[in-house]
Amino acid sequence: MNQLAAYGLLTAAFDNVLYWLMMGLTLFTVFTFVDAAFRREDAYRAADKKTKPFWLIILGVAVGIQFFLGSIFLDLIAIVAAMVYMVDVRPALKRVSPPRRGGRNGQQKQDHMGPYGPW
């Protein structure tokens, strides 16, 4: 009986770890979807990375799979789609997009430019 109690305790701990892992991966997928939604349409074309609607559909389906289906195989496909966006598409979009301006609390950053460049 003691071994069964230990087995139940271990499986409960493993289930808890898997639950938090899947929650983290779901939040990661939601983050990639939101990030893709806030990027400019012309940046996708300039970076030669399909189109914004294409990535929104792919990442939206990935989020839907993770929230509603719960199949491990489909979850892996959704996570791979989010990783491809994060590792390949997002850096390319950041390269072609202008840098964001602004500091804390809406203060503008000051450019410290001299005659030969920044100082």
User: In the predicted model, is pLDDT for residue 3 greater than 70?
Assistant: no
| Global confidence as pTM | 0.72
Q: What is the share, in percent, of the chain residues with pLDDT greater than 70?
A: 79
Taking a C-beta distance cutoff of 8 angstroms, is the pair 25, 66 a contact? yes
41 Cβ contact partners less than 8 Å away, ≥ 6 residues apart? 51, 52
Encoded tokens for 44: 């996708």
Answer with the residue of higher pLDDT: 27 or 16: 27
119 Cβ contact partners less than 8 Å away, ≥ 6 residues apart? 112, 113
* SS3 of residue 117 by DSSP: strand
Residue 71 sits at the vertex; the CA angle it makes with 70 and 77, to the nearest 5 degrees, is 105
Q: What is the arithmetic mean of pLDDT over 77-97?
A: 91
Domain extents for the chain? 22-94
Whole-number pLDDT of residue 58: 95
Average pLDDT, the chain: 82
| Residue position matching structure tokens 């430019």 | 113
